[in-house]
């Protein structure tokens, strides 16, 4: 019985990470992103809650864009929040923009929440990411040349 309980404990600890490990396919369209593999920026909180943290550095046009694919059979649903934190040293131009689109090109940030962001304070945006199972494209624009910002997305995952 102790072996079964130990197996179940170990299995339950690794199941959430394994289930979301398909987050490995990505394409950088502009700028640079850290960590270079988005999977390394993913952290599991528990109770199906995750946090993805990526730092974007804009290119010469002031843009940074990454598409994360292979979300597998997961639906991202329920509570979700995006926080955009400007870098204190390489501060973006005031009024830069954030866009997050699903695989069909639908904008997930509604009501203009991703436009005209502050370069001096963090901005929190609350989203409804229901039924995003294929890909996410995260794009920053109007940042200025070689400027940085950290994007943190907190979300719950529903396993069908």
| pLDDT on residue 79 | 66
pLDDT band at 146 (very low <50, low <70, confident <90, very high): very high
pLDDT band at 11 (very low <50, low <70, confident <90, very high): very low
Reply yes or no on whether the pLDDT at 9 is more than 50: no
13: left (phi over 0), alpha (psi -120 to 50) or beta: alpha
What is the rounded average pLDDT of the residues 115-130?
86
Residue 64 lies in domain: 2-158
Structure tokens at 151: 């994007």
Q: Give the integer Cα–Cα distance in Å for 60 and 16.
A: 38
Reply yes or no on whether the pLDDT at 3 is more than 80: no
Instruction: Spell out the alpha helix ranges (H) of the chain.
Output: 2-19
**Count of structural domains within the chain:** 1
CA 131, 110, 85: angle at the middle one, nearest 5?
Answer: 95
What is the rounded average pLDDT of the residues 119-142?
85
| pLDDT on residue 69 | 85
| pLDDT on residue 127 | 79
What is the rounded average pLDDT of the residues 110-125?
91
For residues 132 and 59, the model is more confident at 59
| Span 24-80, pLDDT tens digits | 689 999 999 999 888 889 898 888 888 889 999 999 999 999 998 876 555 666 667
pLDDT band at 1 (very low <50, low <70, confident <90, very high): low
| pLDDT on residue 148 | 95
For residues 10 and 121, the model is more confident at 121
DSSP assignment letter at 91:
P
On whether the CB atoms of residues 154 and 50 are closer than 8 A, the answer is yes
CA 18 to chain centre: 18
| pLDDT on residue 78 | 65
Instruction: Provide φ and ψ at 19, rounded to 5°.
Output: -65, -30
CATH of the domain at 69: 2.60.120.380
Strand ranges, E, within 14-160: 25-30, 32-34, 42-46, 49-57, 64-69, 75-86, 97-102, 123-126, 136-141, 148-158
């Amino acid at each position: 019985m102790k072996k079964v309980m130990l197996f179940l404990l170990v299995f339950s600890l690794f199941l959430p990470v394994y289930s979301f490990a398909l987050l490995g396919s990505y394409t950088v369209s502009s700028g640079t992103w850290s960590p270079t593999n988005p999977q390394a920026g993913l952290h599991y909180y528990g109770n199906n809650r995750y946090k993805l943290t990526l730092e974007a550095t804009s290119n010469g046009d002031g843009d940074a864009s990454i598409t994360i694919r292979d979300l597998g059979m997961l639906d991202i649903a329920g509570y979700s929040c995006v926080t955009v934190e400007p870098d204190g040293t390489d501060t973006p131009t005031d009024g830069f923009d954030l866009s997050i689109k699903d695989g069909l090109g639908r904008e997930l940030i509604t009501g203009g929440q991703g436009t005209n962001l502050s370069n001096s304070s963090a901005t929190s945006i609350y989203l409804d990411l229901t039924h995003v199972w294929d890909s996410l494209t995260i794009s920053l624009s109007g940042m200025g040349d070689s400027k940085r910002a950290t994007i943190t997305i907190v979300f719950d995952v529903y396993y069908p």
